[in-house]
Amino acid sequence: MQEQNDKPPVFKTWGAWYWLVLAFLVLQIVLFIYFTKYFS
């Protein structure tokens, strides 16, 4: 029952969720660097 509850939504594995969070962080940092340079 617990295992059934632990299935991640959208993706097949939790690993995919972790990669999504990580990739979004990297993307934000890259965009922020661009933002900093563009407006400075």
Q: List residues binding other proteins (CB under 8 A).
A: 2, 5-9, 14, 17-18, 20-22, 24-25, 28-29, 32-33, 35-36, 38-40
Ramachandran area for residue 35 (φ above 0: left; ψ -120 to 50: alpha; else beta): alpha
**CB 5, min distance to other proteins, A:** 4
Pick between residue 12 and residue 40 the one whose CB is nearest to other proteins: 40
Distances (CA, A) of 10 to 16, 28, 33, 34, 39: 10, 22, 30, 31, 37
Pick between residue 9 and residue 12 the one whose CB is nearest to other proteins: 9
